[in-house]
Amino acid sequence: MITITNLSKTFNAGTPNEVCALDNVSCTIDKGSFVVLLGTNGSGKSTLLNAVAGNFFPDSGKILLDGSDITNLQEHKRAKYIGRVFQNPFSGTAPDMTIAENITLAVRRGRSRGLGWALPLSSVDEFKKRVKSLNMGLEERLDSPIGKLSGGQRQALTLLMATWLKPKLLLLDEHTAALDPKTANKVIQLTEEVVSKDNLTTMMVTHSMQQAVNMGDRILMLNNGKIVYDIKGEEKKRIKTHDLLALFDEIRKREQVDPTTAEMLISNYV
């Protein structure tokens, strides 16, 4: 379970480029829940994900993971609990190292790394078995550099690596945005398999209404660093893409009126 309380972050504070990326965000995500984060560019959805991942420390607020405070834990230290897949398919793997070597790095996520042999022969069978589950034929290419694979193959491997050890939380940052539609579907299908198999608590950022409708059990819609809609339960099950588009439209319309007139209009007519 993850509890976020009054989380705020302002980038470039005190300069003309000041951006309030997160504005007092609070939410609780239950164990085993799959949350989709939606929002326009600059709405703060990726920032929220990165705050949880530890890319930066928030200005204020708290993040609790299973009751323990991780707000000020460095990125590499909270990696013990968190598996991540990035938007850029090249970000999640080390290109000059082989598939097997990349996996050994993931096998020790959050564990100590000493002078033990990184690639013991005994682990090859398990590597092959789990890589085979991707159905990409990569199990025969464990010794080739990962940089030679396509973006989709690398993203599928990153997903496998992120969940090799069951993470307490899986973070997916628009992980299909840079892939062609067919590969994206494949990676989405893998994501659903992996998440449901281990019942992983997941936060996924996406731009795709289709994914938001089809996946997960909750949608958090962000705008200007705030959560503006929280759609869950039966409502989430019923929601369709056009409903989401209507919500986006509503947000856009709200932004067109300035705050004071908005208040006046709301008090008069709502």
Partner 1 sequence: MSLLVGAITIGLILALLALGIFISFKIFNFADITAEGSITLGASIAAALIVAGVDPVTATIIAMFGGFIAGALTGIIHTKFNINGLLSGILVMTALYSINLHIMGKSNLPLLSEDTIITQIESLNLMANKEMTILLSTLLIVSVFGIVLYLFLKTNLGTAMRATGNNPQMIRALGVNTNHMIILGLAIANALIALSGAILAQFQGFADVQMGIGMLVWGLASVIIGEAVIGDKSIGSLIVGAVLGSLIFRLLVAIALRWGMNPNDLKLITAIFVFIALVLPGLSKKFKKRGVTVK
92 interacts with partner 1 by CB under 8 A: yes
Judged by CB under 8 A, the stretch of 23-31, 87-95, 180-188, 213-221 that binds partner 1 is 87-95
Judged by CB under 8 A, the stretch of 3-11, 74-82, 192-200, 212-220 that binds partner 1 is 74-82
222 interacts with partner 1 by CB under 8 A: no
Minimum separation from the CB atom of position 90 to partner 1 (A): 8
Structure tokens given for 135: 């159905």
Q: Do 7 and 45 form a contact (C-beta atoms < 8 A)? A: no
Measure the CA–CA gap between 112 and 30, rounded to whole angstroms.
29
Structure tokens given for 236: 């989430």
115 interacts with partner 1 by CB under 8 A: yes
104 interacts with partner 1 by CB under 8 A: yes
Minimum separation from the CB atom of position 80 to partner 1 (A): 6
109 interacts with partner 1 by CB under 8 A: yes
Residue number with CB closer to partner 1 (34 or 164):
164
Closest CA to 30 of 203, 163, 162, 256: 203
Closest CA to 133 of 83, 193, 90: 193
DSSP-H helix ranges across 7-74:
45-53
C-beta atoms surrounding 35 within 10 Å: 22
Q: Of the candidates 77, 132, 148, 252, which one interacts with partner 1 according to CB under 8 A?
A: 77
121 interacts with partner 1 by CB under 8 A: no
Is the dihedral angle over the CA atoms 104, 191, 4, 25 positive or is it negative? positive
Residue number with CB closer to partner 1 (94 or 257):
94
Helix (H) or strand (E) holding 196: helix 181-198
Q: For 192-225, give one letter per residue: b (16+ CB within 10 A) or e.
A: eebbeeeebbbbbbbebbebbbebbbbbbbbbbb
Judged by CB under 8 A, the stretch of 6-14, 34-42, 103-111, 201-209 that binds partner 1 is 103-111
Binding to partner 1 in span 133-162, by CB under 8 A: 161-162
Q: Which residues bind partner 1 (CB under 8 A)?
A: 53, 74-77, 79-80, 82, 84, 86, 90-97, 101-102, 104-106, 108-111, 113-119, 161-162
